[in-house]
Amino acid sequence: MSNSASVPVIVRAPKRIDCCTAAFLAQDLETKIQAGEGIVLDLSATQFLDPEGTKVILEGLMKSRQQGTKFALKGVKPQVKVILELSGILQHFKQK
């Protein structure tokens, strides 16, 4: 294994991803998604996700794919998982 292998960048999401916090998460993802580096969105503290939050996660996924960057989720709580499943986003993270 080479030392030059890129280490994923961890982005920690807030307790609530809603209309007040989604823009900050979007900006954080935008600045950290770079070609060839992985992104892990840590949702372990997140207990609430509204439609604006799901939009940010989907846009982050699309941007990472355009950049050739791996995008993964970590620490998804059951109540957040349900929202991601119902919105159709979670299925894009199960492709392994």
Domains held by the chain: number: 1
pLDDT over 90 for what percent of the chain?
74
pTM (global) more than 0.85: yes
- State whether the Cα torsion 53-94-10-4 is positive or negative: negative
Dist. CA 71–CA 53, nearest whole Å: 16
Q: Do the domain assignments include residue 51? A: yes
Taking the mean position of all CA atoms in its chain, how far away is CA 79?
A: 16
SS3 state at 49: strand
57 found inside a domain = yes
Consecutive H or E run containing 73:
strand 71-74
Q: Is residue 49 part of a domain?
A: yes
- Point out the residues of the chain with pLDDT beneath 70: 1-5, 35-36, 94-96
pLDDT, position 3: 44
How many C-beta atoms surround the C-beta of residue 63 within 10 A?
A: 16
